[in-house]
């Protein structure tokens, strides 16, 4: 994975040169009318080319895009939650490109991806500066056929074997030092083969072992109980504890 930065007026793009090169070689993005630009992070661009194939639930309204003939991407704008969202849903304080939430997430996701950990491949992020503030959006490769653990729990489709695999996956990330600050049943996806994936690394970071690991699991337990039953979390913990 080759991360490269590109500046366009008040926009900064951090992208995986390999992903975008492959897309341009097999899709209409190879046209001079569709170069790598900040427009790729605007939903209107994809809608105008009839390339929006779906939309994810939740804050921010992530879009599913037909970026290549055989590959879809997810476009996710960065959106604030809580009380501060009443002041501004999309604007963040500018402290430099490398300190933006988008740049941090792409670099972290790329580092984990290169370790072979199950995270979506990052494609690019764009940070648009407005004086002392900025807005941002992220592009990642969509995992084909994946469903959120929350949905599987609600529909009664999360068996013990799957829950143990999820626990083992979380252990791998903890061994790599990942503190996932929003570990919940919506941020764990399961693909068609039953493999679990971890998504949404916004505000996450790498840390030495500590109490945060138990905190991650406690947060996940509350989410699992919300969508399923208390015993579902037991399977996750068993998988976590048995993993090496």
- Active-site residue numbers? 182
Residue count (the chain): 244
Is residue 220 within 8 Å of residue 146, measured between CB atoms?
Answer: no
Q: Please work out, in degrees rounded to the nearest 5, the angle formed at the alpha carbon of residue 92 by the alpha carbons of 18 and 212.
A: 80
Q: How many of the other CB atoms lie within 10 Å of CB of 234?
A: 16
Dist. CA 102–CA 142, nearest whole Å: 17
Secondary structure tally for the chain: helices H, strands E = 7, 13
- Strand-pairing partners, residue 129, are 134
User: Pseudo-torsion of CA 43, 47, 50, 51, nearest 10°?
Assistant: 10
With contact defined as beta carbons under 8 Å apart, do 185 and 108 qualify? Answer: no
Q: What percent of the residues of the chain are helix, what percent strand, and what percent coil, each to the nearest 5?
A: 40, 25, 35
Contacts of residue 13, defined as CB under 8 A and 6 or more positions apart, other chains included, come to 5, 6, 7, 36, 37, 38, 124, 125, 126, 127
- Identify the DSSP state of 184: -
């Amino acid at each position: 994975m080759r991360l490269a930065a590109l500046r366009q007026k008040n926009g900064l793009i951090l992208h995986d040169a390999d992903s975008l090169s492959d897309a341009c070689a097999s899709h209409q993005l190879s046209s001079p009318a569709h170069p790598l630009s900040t427009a790729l992070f605007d939903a209107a661009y994809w809608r105008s080319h009839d390339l929006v194939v779906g939309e994810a639930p939740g804050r921010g309204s992530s879009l599913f895009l037909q970026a290549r003939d055989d590959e879809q991407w997810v476009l996710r704008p960065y959106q604030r939650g809580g009380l501060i969202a009443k002041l501004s849903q999309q604007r963040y304080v500018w402290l430099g490109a490398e300190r933006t939430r988008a740049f941090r997430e792409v670099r972290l996701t790329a580092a984990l991806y290169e370790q072979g950990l199950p995270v979506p491949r990052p494609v690019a992020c764009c940070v648009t500066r407005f004086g002392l503030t900025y807005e941002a959006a992220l592009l990642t490769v969509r995992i084909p056929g994946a469903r959120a653990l929350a949905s599987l729990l609600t529909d009664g489709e999360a068996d013990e074997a799957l829950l143990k695999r999820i626990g083992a996956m979380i252990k791998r990330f903890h061994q790599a030092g990942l503190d996932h600050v929003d570990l919940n049943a919506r941020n764990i996806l399961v693909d068609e083969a039953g493999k679990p994936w971890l998504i949404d690394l916004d505000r996450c970071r790498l840390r030495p072992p500590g109490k945060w690991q138990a905190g991650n699991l406690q947060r996940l337990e509350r989410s699992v109980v919300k969508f399923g039953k208390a015993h579902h979390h037991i399977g996750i913990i068993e998988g976590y504890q048995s993993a090496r």
